[in-house]
Structure formats: C-alpha cells, structure tokens
Chain A
Amino acid sequence: MVKKNNSMFKENIITNNPILVQVLGICSTLAVTNSVKNTIVMCIGLIFTVSLSSFSLSIIRKLIPSKVRMIIEVLVISFWVIIVDLALKAYLPEISKQLGPYVGLIITNCIVMGRTEAFGLQNPPIPSFLDGLTSGLGYSIVLIFIAIIRELLGAGSIYGFKLLGSNWVSWNIMIMAPGAFFLLALIIWIVKGYFLPKIEKK
C-alpha cells in the first residue's frame, strides 16, 4: 500500500501532471495567476476541495444510483466549495474580493470532476483522498510557477515584494490575459518536448 501511494505521488505530480500532460482544469485558475498571493490561496482552496470531495464521494459511492450520479457529485463538490468561500470571506476578505467568482468556479474545474469520477468513485476513501491531494499539488506547482513569472515580469514583484527596483519597466501584457496563454504554452512546450521524453526513456 505504501509503495502504491508513493508511485501515485510521483505519477500525479510529474509523469501525469494534470495541467502539463492532460491539459485539464486550467479554466478557473489561470485567471488568478497574475498575483502569487491569490494563486496560492486559490490553489489551497482547490486542493482542499478536490481531496475532500473525492474522499466524501468515495465513502458514499456504493449508495449512489447511477442515474443521478452526476447531480450528486456536483452537489458534494459545491458543498466543499461553499465552505472554502465562507472561510475566505471570514479570514481573508481582501483576497476573497479579488478572486471574485473564480472561487465558485472551482465547482466546474475539470480536475475536481475528473479525479472524483475517475478515482474517487472506484476506490476506498483514503487512497481517493491521497489521489486528490497529489493531483491538486501537481496542479498547484505549475500554477504557482506561472504566477511567479507573471508577477515578476508584469509588476516587478513577487508575493507583493518589489524585487526589480524602480527602473524596471513592467510588461503589461504579462498581467493581462494573453501573457498567461503564452506562458502556459511555453511551459507545456518545454515539458512535453524535452523533459517527458527523457523521463519515459528512463
């Protein structure tokens, strides 16, 4: 069991990373990557939702009639997202306002649906929880990386701290939508074209 969980860790973070390899779930989260702080908060919310949704659906998986499976899945996921939303409003009201509707959109994030459907509904609770956790982590690493580059080039800072001095001319495009598209494309290109073939050979 321990060994299996270990390989799951490696698979979900490196060789089968949801963003880089499967290109899933970028919808609602790419939008907040113009600031490292918001990205980290959003990623924690996502990891929380995906692992606990997978866990709770796994517990009740034998009770769900197949006809209403989709609706029940969505309801369980929305439940956890509402908890994330309420917690943010209470403890981080500033960030909650900046994230706006994107917190709610975790419900429709393909990773959450994908992992619960593909793993949580077929496996016992604990492995489902770990699968959700590792998928969420693999996903967060990429997004935080994107956020660091976008914030550094677009605003000259990381996590709000000015790093590049006052002479730095900000690249406005990095903060706007096209910047995220180009950066993600570049990362996928590098990983798919150069790193993955090497890992596979090993």
Chain B
Amino acid sequence: MNISSIAILFGSIITGNILLSYYLGMCSFLSISRELKSAIGLGVAVTFVMAITTPLNWIVYNIILVPLNITYLRFIVFIMVIAGIVQILEMIIERFSQTLYYSLGIFLPLITVNCAILGVNLFMIIRQYSFINSIFYGIGSGIGWLLAITLLAAIKQKISKNILPKGVEGAAISLIISGIMAIAFMGFSGIIPIN
C-alpha cells in the first residue's frame, strides 16, 4: 500500500463521489432513499459488489481482453461478469446466512444493472489503475455511494413531515438535497485532489 492508493480510496469516497460528481446510480438512489433502512441495505450491497467486481474485471480485462486485442468487447464482458457474480453471490448468501440474505441478498437482483457498478468498472480501465489501486477504487466508490444514499435518506426522513410546495415533493427535493451535498463534498477538494 502506498500514498496513491490511500488518495484513491478517499478521493473516490468524497471528492470523486461516484454519485454526487459522476451522477451514477441515480435511479435506485432516488427510489430507494424513501426508507433509511432499505437505503443502507442497498448501499452495503452496492459496496460489496463493487469491491468484488472491480478487481475481478481488472483481471479479465488485462489478462483476456488486452492480449487478444478485443478491448472493444469490454462492455459486454463486464456486464456479463457483473450479472454472473451477483447471481452467484445471491445463491451463496441465501444458503449460508438468513440474516444476511434478508438484509443484503434480496437487494442483489436489483443492482445487476446498476449504472454505478458498471461505471466504476469502466472508469478503472480509463484511468489505467494498477491492480492494487483498482481494489481501493472499488471499495472507495462503494463506500461513497453508501454515504451519499444514507445521507439523502436520513435528510428526507427528517423533512418528511414538512409541507413542501406542489411539485417539489419526491424527485425534485431529492435532487436539490443532492446538489447541496455535492457542493459540500467538493469543499474537501483542498485536502483531497479531485481525480
């Protein structure tokens, strides 16, 4: 582990937050954030899948696609690996831990086609991270997503009893909160470089 790995980890959690600066994973972000508990469950599931698929797809990309000179197939291969891994994880979790299945497993089918996961995999290729860095990037992006959705769900719970103008309730207020959070996260850019 060296300095750049730690910078990547914190950069991907805060200043380069996959949701607040790259808009990825918005769909489930907006719909699930109605329930704090479900939001945390989904966030943990996303972190878990990102931490596993990012290094795995790094291996697939650098060991199979690059030598064969068929990197243009990366979209199809990455999405297949993600879908396959998610299904296998779901089966394993369901078998071995009931509590884990009900808090995490039931969310897995929902995130097979989550853009944040594919997005992190594609960013990792474009930024040419090393294998070690891709692990940190996967974990960091997952934690960043978890942080963003938990904060949004908590804030929404807090304001759920307030009366809002017509048309603002629902998606619009979530977007306004996200915007303010995004500004707050950008404030860290003096400490952590934006990657």
Chain A interface residues (CB < 8 Å from chain B): 23-28, 30-31, 70-71, 74-75, 78-79, 81-82, 85-86, 100-101, 104-105, 107-110, 113, 173, 176-182, 184-186, 188-194
Contact = CB atoms under 8 A, between A and B. Distances in A.
B23 A27 contact: yes
B26 interface: yes
Contacts of B74: 104
Interface in B138-195: 165-168, 170-173, 175-176, 178-180, 182-183, 186
A173 to B, nearest CB: 8
B73 interface: yes
B167 A192 contact: yes
B112 interface: yes
Counting chain B residues whose Cβ lies within 8 A of the other chain, the interface size class is 35 or more
B113 A189 contact: no
A24 B27 contact: yes
A177 B113 CA distance: 23
B176 A185 contact: yes
A107 B118 contact: yes
A75 B72 CA distance: 14
Given A27-B23, A177-B23, A188 B75 contact: no
A23 B171 contact: yes
Contacts of A74: 79-80, 83, 112-113
A interface, by DSSP: helix, strand, loop or mixed? helix
13 contacts: A26-B23, A27-B27, A105-B122, A108-B79, A177-B179, A178-B180, A180-B23, A181-B175, A182-B176, A185-B172, A185-B179, A191-B167, A192-B170
B182 A28 contact: no
B167 A189 contact: yes
A185 to B, nearest CB: 4
Contact of A31 (B22, B113, B182): B22
Contacts of B24: 27-28, 31, 105
A174 to B, nearest CB: 11
B102 interface: no
A75 B76 contact: yes
B83 A193 contact: no
Interface majority SS on B: helix, strand, loop or mixed? helix
A165 B149 CA distance: 40
A188 B171 CA distance: 8
A185 B165 CA distance: 13
Interface in B12-47: 20-27, 30
B175 A188 contact: yes
B18 to A, nearest CB: 11
B175 A185 contact: yes
Contacts of A100: 122-123, 126
A178 B23 CA distance: 10
A70 B27 contact: no
B103 interface: no
Contacts of B173: 185
Given A27-B24, A104-B74, A182-B176, 19 more contacts: A27-B23, A31-B23, A70-B113, A74-B79, A79-B76, A107-B118, A108-B114, A108-B115, A109-B115, A177-B20, A178-B186, A181-B176, A181-B182, A185-B171, A185-B175, A185-B179, A189-B168, A191-B167, A192-B172
Contacts of A81: 75
A179 B179 CA distance: 7
A31 B116 CA distance: 13
A43 B122 CA distance: 20
Contacts of A101: 119, 122-123, 125-126
B167 A193 contact: yes
Nearest to A111: B27
